[in-house]
Amino acid sequence: MGLIPSKTSKNGRKNTTKLKPDKYEDINAKEAVKFSDFPLSKKTLLGLQEAQYRQPTEIQRQTIGFALRGKDVLGAAKTGSGKTLAFLIPVLECLYREQWSSVDGLGALIISPTRELAYQTFEVSHIFEIILLICVGLSFQISESERIHETNIVICTPGRLLQHMDETATFHASNLHMLVLDEADRILDMGFADTLNAIVENLPKTRQTLLFSATQTKSVKDLARLSLKDPEYVWVHEKAKFSTPATLEQNYVVCELHQKVSINVNSQKQRIANILIHRPTLSSRDMKRVEVYNDFVRKQNAVLFATDIAARGLDFPTVNWVLQFDCPEDADTYIHRVGRTARYKEGGEALLLLLPSEEKSMVQLLQDKKVPINKIQVGAALLCGLKECNTY
């Protein structure tokens, strides 16, 4: 099965007649207040309605209009602004318009920096009745290599995708219509530039490309020049007063090294995140990363001890507090970490612990990036008390 039933003519050959795209040329995104104001298919609108998505966010409103017309898009918006639906909806509508079916193979490719973010995109896509494959090593009854050639949409990490390109004989992307690069700057920051270039070289030149990121770095712009053709630039919050959500309260504390909690939140041993909840014990250190992610999402009360694994795109509905015990390497990393809370229209709080030697430079970096953060005084008892918390 694919997105829609396969249509064949009397001689058994596939009917390649395309749906007329005329209706997309008259889209006026400025007048789109509801998703139903866009010329979307009934299935897509039903899925959105059942998931309680009725009004598009700004990044969704602007992106969908351009993408439905077949334009390449370079999109940037604050973390938590709804970028996932901004590319999922055009992907589904593009393949629907092309009458894509199981015999057509790969139609859309969505590349994410981490397994967790790829998995989250996969979960969001479940509001639509389509068949997908996620190339992150999840447990399938039939292995990825045996199914990937008949899959319409692949959601994956760069390394796993390149592995399939090199080792899976039945996998090809010659019919690809749409490429999506999600959190592109993070993909590049993680050292996947060469991998990404190798992937792009093996894709059709005629494809449509959507590139999304919460920050626009030089490397992202270089990638855009290589991957996008005459793109539409959608920078939703470019002129915003602050680079973080207005509903996020941000504070920092200056303390001595011996006052810090004796955990290394950047440790490679850590699977996804440390949490503080109202239950006495947790024993999930050896769980697989995706299983830990699922467990964390289901928590009714959670505090995220920020790590770089959980710093991009992930949506944890119950996280109200984000704590950073180690000074981030730069302001962008800080912005992405605190972006795990105060998502959409919700509120949230963030606390950063700094050493006296780190305060001046880090605060200046945050101010330069338009991050409103306040210095507060916290008693030593509270800092010591955090050591007693049960964590992953």
DSSP 211-239: EEESS--HHHHHHHHHH-SSPEEEETTTT
Q: 45 is in which domain, residue-wise?
A: 22-235
* Number of domains making up the chain: 2
In a domain, residue 261? The reply is: yes
What angle, 0 to 180 degrees and rounded to 10, lies between the N-to-C axes of helices 193-201 and 158-167?
40
Point out the domain boundary residue: 208, 235, 262: 235
Give helix then strand counts, H and E, for the chain: 13, 13
Q: What integer pLDDT is reported at residue 281 of this predicted model?
A: 32
The structure tokens listed for 319 are: 């996280």
Residues 213 and 339 in one domain: no
Tens digit of pLDDT at every position of the chain (392 positions): 345 444 443 333 344 444 445 567 767 777 788 999 999 999 899 999 998 898 998 899 999 999 999 999 998 877 677 889 999 999 999 888 888 887 888 899 999 988 888 888 888 887 876 655 554 444 434 567 777 777 889 998 898 888 888 888 888 899 999 999 998 888 887 888 899 989 998 899 999 999 998 766 677 777 887 789 899 988 876 667 787 888 899 999 998 888 775 444 444 333 333 333 333 233 333 346 667 667 777 777 766 676 665 555 566 666 788 888 889 888 888 888 887 787 767 788 999 999 999 999 999 999 998 899 999 987 654 554 454 443 33
Beta strands in 240-318 (DSSP E): 248-254, 274-275, 302-305
Distance CA 196, CA 207 (A): 16
Same domain, 268 and 378: yes
Residue 364 belongs to domain with CATH number: 3.40.50.300
Q: What is the pTM of this model?
A: 0.68
Which pLDDT score, from 0 to 100, does residue 11 have?
37
Rg for the chain (alpha carbons), in Å?
22
CA 387 to chain centre: 32
Q: Does any domain span residue 3? A: no
374-375 vs 232-235, strand pairing mode: unpaired
Instruction: Tell the burial category of 26 from Cβ atoms under 10 Å away from its Cβ (0-12, 13-18, 19+).
Output: exposed
Per-residue pLDDT, 279: 31
Q: Are residues 283 and 229 in the same domain?
A: no
- What per-residue confidence (pLDDT) applies to 114? 83
Report yes or no on 230 lying in a domain: yes
Tokens linked to 152? 């319409």
